[in-house]
Amino acid sequence: MLLHAGVRAESHYGVKMKFGEVFAKSGKVERRFGKILSETYDLRLDAEYIPEARGGITQAVAEEQLTKAMEFLRMAEDLINKAGG
């Protein structure tokens, strides 16, 4: 989405921040998608860098994140297709 909008980010954190600026805060997408991206990013960081946090990422949490990710992808596809993607 960012590349399609002509925006580059240098890191995963940059992608999260730029998405918030370009899409969520501007109203191009519902703000909840910014929250979904942020929560998922935080979970990934916890799972990768905080070993004791991994136990809190249960199957239910993973399934919830998968559902949100699928919704996010549908939104992204729709937005890009509407823009002539």
Lookup: tokens for 36? 């979904």
Judged against a pLDDT cut of 70, whether residue 85 lies above it is answered with: no
Span 16-40, mean pLDDT?
Answer: 96
Domain ranges across the chain: 12-82
Query: How much is the pLDDT for 50?
Result: 85
| H or E stretch covering 69 | helix 59-82
Token duo for residue 50: 């905080």
**pTM of this prediction?**
0.86
44-84: pLDDT as tens digits: 998 888 878 777 788 899 999 999 999 999 999 999 999 88
Asked whether the beta carbons of 79 and 1 are under 8 A apart, the reply is: yes
Task: Please tell me the chain's helix, strand, coil percentages from 3-state DSSP, rounded to the nearest 5.
Answer: 75, 0, 25
CB 43 within 8 A of CB 56: no
